[in-house]
């Protein structure tokens, strides 16, 4: 089929017409990235449920006149400020990287084609198209040369659709093969995909196992807070026998530690910091949960070209086949390379080497597609020429096919130049093929590819090399990188269609060649059917369907706009070696949030249990007529108890190195460790308080001593929980635990801090009993954690790391 062009408007809009449309507001005014505004970020971090609860309790404490006991109110400021700062940083990083990564359409104006930003497209612009180009606005086709559009991302229709002149095209689709141009008929928010894109690209922290797990935990905590809170309120205001001011402060002291105020904050910070860190490595995370998702991946499907090998190629040799003249072959190759409007890497290498164009006029064209594996031009009296895969165009038993396979087995890329007996756009093309020359191209293996594959192997992540190239050539590259199975690459044309049978092959084989786009997609689905979490890397339009269906799609920044549009992660530096850093960042986020969750939830459990025990004791005093009991702590006590056992350590641990492999079962793992630890702390603290409690008529000194006794017990066991959560140890973790312990020693021994925080450890007998209760609690917590770890195969987390290692 020859290229057909609609004459009217073939030169595109004039500069004056473009300017007039801009003045009329007929521009593609969709935001570059629909991220939350700074105002929305501030509102979301300030007006939270946790801040509302703490705010009400803060006002109640202030009403008693005890400003010092309202120190926990600083948590509102800290929660909001830190969350706002980190999310704004992450927003700016994402927005800047998204601008670099965005598809830039080629617009023809005044007869000259040049790239513009999507927002600079105006109504009636003439936009040129080639393979891999994303359609950025709705329009009508004005020029078509075998133009095929894939609309699967919008309609679910998997087969490419032929687009002749006059056909409509929709934004969000992309070009599979052929070339052409279309006129923009709907721009901005009127375009079909604008609303979908606006929703899909929002800065979000939801839809991840980690976030949903935390939501489940918070829901469980809410169910506990209601009865515990009501019981505490009743006990302090009606049963304790105290005046209203100490009753209210005791009630607030009971309620404040029940709220896991920093858990959501730390999760948000960990994700946001991850985005900023990866941004510095030129890695655009288009969906934040992808950081977490890639950390859970156990299979990486990597395309060969552009991933394991460099994008650029070099023409190495031309092996002329008998019957053809070297000059004729070179003229044909030069003509085809020069006439290709959107050359791929192979054609570009030919064009750079053969610059002497013969000036032939083509009468028909057949663009390259992944399905047929060849392209062609008809040049009238100069013949009908094909350029494509030797194993597709040649008889497998021919001498030329064997020669091509031998060359491919050494890692070279081999194409066949051949003549056909019919026009290349004939329905039955290519017809009878007469081989003219083997075109030998060199591909450079990325210098960092071996180290990257070694890293994944050390992390028990399987690599599957899936390529459209000749299986022998793919196997040669895989073998040179010492990838297991590379020496017996599988030709995908012989793969079974049945998903179960395909999954069986994929479980044992690692290297595949001649894989069609639909097969890449089927391979991803087959791996997922066996419970694998699959990441797909790619840069070509033939990778789009597989990228879309994989758990995590990773596109190269230099790849086609279509691949960048569907991928969750874009490697803007085009380095496959960046992936280990993304995996490491995800593991750091997940592992650290799990550690931090243990600390916060342990505090919630012991706070709820302590409130229940004190409340039930108060209710029992009315039923059985014994002396009522009040809450042991002031709000300032629960504040300092959290400072060095949770607050500061949790912040440090959330940002620390962590290479533990991500595992499912986050909620059950956290709960089975936090609940027994919290129970031990709650019971031990209550027992210590009962030992020291001198009744409601006790002096202020006796009340301070009783509260101090309970606080010492609580802090001792809580610091030990911190020590367990921090395992395995490295030097900075030892320093962190020692600093926390030292800080509490200062608080309890320095006269000023003792007086300021109403601490009195001067009663040797009571302080000794506190240490005994604390020691018993430490033994119980340690025993519980070791038993749990042994039962669930997690003892490795409790064993110290090797010197200089990190967790």
Q: What is the DSSP string of 730-777?
A: -HHHHHHHHHHHHHHHHHHHSHHHHHHTT-----HHHHHHHHHHHHHH
Name the range with the highest mean pLDDT among 29-43, 77-91, 751-765.
751-765
Helix (H) or strand (E) holding 512: strand 511-513
Whether 141 shows a pLDDT value over 90: the answer reads yes
If one compares 655 and 731, the residue with the highest pLDDT of the two is 731
User: Using 50, 70 and 90 to split pLDDT, how confident is the model at 1?
Assistant: very low
Whether 433 shows a pLDDT value over 70: the answer reads yes
Q: What number of CA atoms fall less than 13 Å from residue 427's CA on the CB side?
A: 0
- For residue 124 the two structure tokens come to 């009636």
Q: How many residues make up the chain in this entry?
A: 807
**pLDDT recorded at residue 205:** 38
**pLDDT recorded at residue 341:** 74
**pLDDT recorded at residue 254:** 67
CA–CA gap between residue 358 and residue 765 (Å, rounded):
104
Whether 748 shows a pLDDT value over 90: the answer reads yes
Q: Where are the beta strands (DSSP E) in 55-173?
A: 106-109, 112-115, 126-129, 138-150, 161-162, 168-169
Instruction: Give residue 241's region: left, alpha or beta (phi > 0; psi -120 to 50).
Output: left
Name the range with the highest mean pLDDT among 44-53, 88-97, 418-427, 709-718.
709-718
If one compares 265 and 603, the residue with the highest pLDDT of the two is 603
376-381-384 Cα angle (round to 5)? 20
Report the pLDDT averaged over residues 658-687. 83
* Lowest-pLDDT range of 49-63, 320-334, 525-539, 675-689: 49-63
For the purposes of burial, counting CB atoms within 10 Å of the CB of 165, is it exposed (0-12), middle (13-18) or buried (19 or more)?
Answer: middle
**490-491: strand order across its sheet:** 283-285, 569-571, 552-556, 534-538, 299-302, 462-466, 511-513, 490-491
CA–CA gap between residue 800 and residue 804 (Å, rounded):
11
* Lowest-pLDDT range of 202-206, 270-274, 500-504: 202-206
If one compares 796 and 455, the residue with the highest pLDDT of the two is 455
**pLDDT recorded at residue 768:** 95
Contacting residues for 794 by C-beta, under 8 A, at least 6 apart: 669, 788
**pLDDT recorded at residue 416:** 92
- For residue 602 the two structure tokens come to 């342990």
Q: Which of 69, 138, 298, 303 is labelled catalytic?
A: 303
| Short-list 462, 476, 545, CA closest to 507 | 462
Cα maximum dimension of the chain? 114
User: Using 50, 70 and 90 to split pLDDT, how confident is the model at 355?
Assistant: confident
If one compares 804 and 257, the residue with the highest pLDDT of the two is 257
User: Using 50, 70 and 90 to split pLDDT, how confident is the model at 682?
Assistant: very high
Report the pLDDT averaged over residues 284-311. 78
Q: Are 651 and 582 in contact (CB under 8 A)?
A: no
Whole-model pTM: value is 0.66
CA–CA gap between residue 80 and residue 342 (Å, rounded):
51
Whether 795 shows a pLDDT value over 50: the answer reads no
Annotated catalytic, 395? Answer: no
Q: Are 515 and 490 in contact (CB under 8 A)?
A: no
If one compares 664 and 746, the residue with the highest pLDDT of the two is 746
At 640 the three-state DSSP class reads helix
If one compares 675 and 412, the residue with the highest pLDDT of the two is 675
Whether 692 shows a pLDDT value over 80: the answer reads yes
Compute the mean pLDDT over every residue in the chain, rounded to the nearest whole number. 80
Contacting residues for 217 by C-beta, under 8 A, at least 6 apart: 260, 263, 597, 601, 667, 670, 671
Task: Tell me, rounded to whole angstroms, the distance of Cα 352 from its chain centroid.
Answer: 38
Domains and CATH numbers, the chain: 15-29+103-189 (2.70.150.10), 217-277+583-791 (1.20.1110.10), 283-308+447-574 (3.40.50.1000), 313-442 (3.40.1110.10)
Strand 299-302, strand 462-466: pairing: parallel
* Lowest-pLDDT range of 172-186, 217-231, 447-461, 581-595: 217-231
Report the pLDDT averaged over residues 497-519. 89
Report the pLDDT averaged over residues 736-749. 94
**pLDDT recorded at residue 2:** 34
**pLDDT recorded at residue 340:** 83
What is the percentage of the chain residues whose pLDDT exceeds 70? 81
Whether 800 shows a pLDDT value over 50: the answer reads no
* Lowest-pLDDT range of 145-149, 693-697, 700-704, 782-786: 693-697
CA–CA gap between residue 551 and residue 536 (Å, rounded):
8
Report the pLDDT averaged over residues 604-633. 76
* Lowest-pLDDT range of 56-70, 201-215, 423-437, 458-472: 201-215
**pLDDT recorded at residue 708:** 94
**pLDDT recorded at residue 655:** 77
Report the pLDDT averaged over residues 102-125. 86
**pLDDT recorded at residue 151:** 75
- For residue 237 the two structure tokens come to 């205001």
User: Using 50, 70 and 90 to split pLDDT, how confident is the model at 796?
Assistant: very low
Residue 4 pairs in a beta bridge with 144
Residue position matching structure tokens 């066949």:
416
User: Using 50, 70 and 90 to split pLDDT, how confident is the model at 526?
Assistant: very high
Q: Are 146 and 425 in contact (CB under 8 A)?
A: yes
* Residue 795 DSSP label: G
Whether 203 shows a pLDDT value over 80: the answer reads no
Helix (H) or strand (E) holding 403: helix 399-408
**pLDDT recorded at residue 207:** 46
* Three-state secondary structure string covering 632-656: CCCHHHHHHHHHHHHHHHHHHHHCC
Report the pLDDT averaged over residues 344-354. 84
């Amino acid at each position: 089929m020859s290229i057909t062009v609609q004459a009217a408007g073939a030169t595109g809009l004039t500069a004056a017409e473009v300017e007039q449309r801009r003045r009329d507001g007929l521009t593609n005014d969709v935001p570059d990235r629909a991220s939350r505004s700074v105002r929305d970020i501030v509102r979301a971090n300030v007006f939270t449920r946790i801040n509302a609860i703490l705010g009400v309790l803060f006002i109640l404490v202030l009403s008693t006149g005890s400003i010092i006991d309202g120190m926990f109110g600083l948590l509102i400021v800290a929660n909001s400020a830190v969350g706002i700062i980190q999310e704004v940083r992450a927003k700016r990083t994402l927005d800047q990287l998204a601008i670099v990564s965005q598809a830039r359409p080629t617009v023809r104006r005044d007869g000259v084609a040049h790239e513009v930003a999507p927002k600079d497209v105006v109504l009636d612009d003439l936009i040129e198209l080639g393979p891999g180009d994303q359609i950025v606005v709705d329009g009508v086709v004005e020029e078509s040369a075998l133009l095929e559009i894939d609309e699967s991302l919008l309609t679910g229709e998997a087969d490419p659709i032929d687009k002749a002149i006059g056909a409509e095209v929709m934004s969000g689709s992309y070009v599979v093969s052929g070339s052409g141009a279309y006129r923009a008929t709907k721009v901005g928010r009127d375009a079909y995909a604008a609303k979908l894109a606006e929703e899909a690209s929002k800065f979000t922290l939801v839809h991840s196992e980690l976030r949903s797990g935390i939501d489940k935990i918070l829901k469980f905590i809410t169910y506990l807070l209601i009865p515990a809170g009501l019981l505490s309120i009743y006990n302090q205001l009606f049963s304790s026998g105290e005046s209203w001011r100490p009753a209210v402060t005791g009630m607030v002291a009971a309620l404040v530690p029940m709220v896991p105020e920093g858990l959501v904050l730390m999760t948000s910070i960990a994700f946001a910091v991850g985005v900023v860190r990866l941004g510095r490595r030129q890695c655009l995370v288009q969906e934040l949960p992808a950081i977490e998702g890639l950390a859970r991946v156990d299979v990486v499907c990597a395309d060969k070209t552009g991933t394991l090998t460099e994008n650029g190629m070099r023409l190495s040799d031309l092996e002329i086949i008998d019957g053809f003249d070297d000059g004729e072959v070179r003229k044909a190759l030069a003509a085809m390379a020069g006439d290709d409007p959107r050359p791929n890497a192979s054609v570009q290498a030919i064009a750079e080497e053969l610059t002497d164009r013969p000036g032939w006029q083509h009468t028909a064209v057949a663009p390259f597609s992944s399905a047929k594996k060849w392209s062609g031009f008809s040049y009238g009296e100069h013949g009908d020429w094909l350029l494509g895969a030797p194993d597709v165009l040649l008889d497998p038993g021919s001498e030329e096919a064997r020669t091509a396979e031998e060359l491919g087995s050494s890692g070279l890329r081999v194409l066949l130049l051949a003549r056909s007996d019919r026009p290349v756009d004939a329905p039955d093309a290519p017809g009878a093929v007469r081989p003219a020359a083997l075109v030998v191209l060199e591909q450079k293996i990325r210098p960092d590819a071996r180290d990257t594959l070694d890293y994944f192997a050390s992390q028990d992540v399987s690599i599957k090399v899936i390529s459209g190239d000749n299986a022998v050539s793919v196997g040669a590259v895989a073998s040179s990188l010492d990838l297991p199975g590379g020496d017996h690459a599988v030709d995908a044309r012989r793969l079974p269609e049945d998903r179960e049978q395909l999954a069986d092959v994929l479980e044992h084989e690692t290297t595949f060649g001649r894989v069609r786009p639909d097969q890449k997609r089927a391979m991803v689905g087959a791996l997922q059917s066996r419970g694998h979490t699959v990441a797909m890397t790619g840069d070509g339009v033939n990778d789009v369907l597989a990228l879309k269906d994989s758990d995590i799609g990773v596109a190269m920044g230099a790849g086609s706009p279509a691949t960048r549009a569907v991928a969750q992660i874009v490697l803007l530096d085009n380095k496959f070696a960046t992936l280990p850093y993304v995996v490491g960042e995800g593991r750091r986020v997940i592992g650290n949030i799990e550690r931090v969750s243990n600390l916060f939830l342990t505090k919630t459990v012991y706070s709820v249990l302590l409130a229940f025990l004190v409340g039930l004791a108060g209710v029992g005093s009315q039923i059985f007529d014994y002396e009522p009991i009040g809450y042991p702590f002031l709000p300032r006590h629960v504040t300092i108890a959290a400072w060095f056992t949770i607050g500061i350590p949790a912040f440090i641990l959330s940002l620390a190195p962590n290479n533990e492999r991500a595992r499912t079962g986050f909620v059950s793992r956290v709960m089975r460790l936090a609940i027994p630890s919290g129970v031990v702390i709650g019971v031990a603290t209550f027992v210590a308080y009962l030992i020291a409690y001198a009744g409601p008529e006790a002096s202020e000194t006796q009340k301070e001593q009783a509260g101090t006794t309970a606080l010492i017990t609580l802090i001792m066991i809580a610091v030990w929980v911190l020590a367990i959560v921090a395992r395995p140890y490295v030097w900075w973790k030892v320093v962190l635990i020692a600093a926390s312990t030292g800080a509490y020693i200062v608080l309890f021994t320095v006269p000023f801090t003792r007086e300021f925080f109403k601490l009195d450890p001067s009663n040797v007998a009571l302080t000794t009993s506190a240490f005994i209760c604390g020691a018993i609690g430490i033994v119980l917590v340690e025993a519980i954690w070791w038993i749990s770890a042994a039962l669930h195969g997690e003892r490795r987390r409790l064993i110290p790391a090797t010197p200089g290692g990190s967790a």
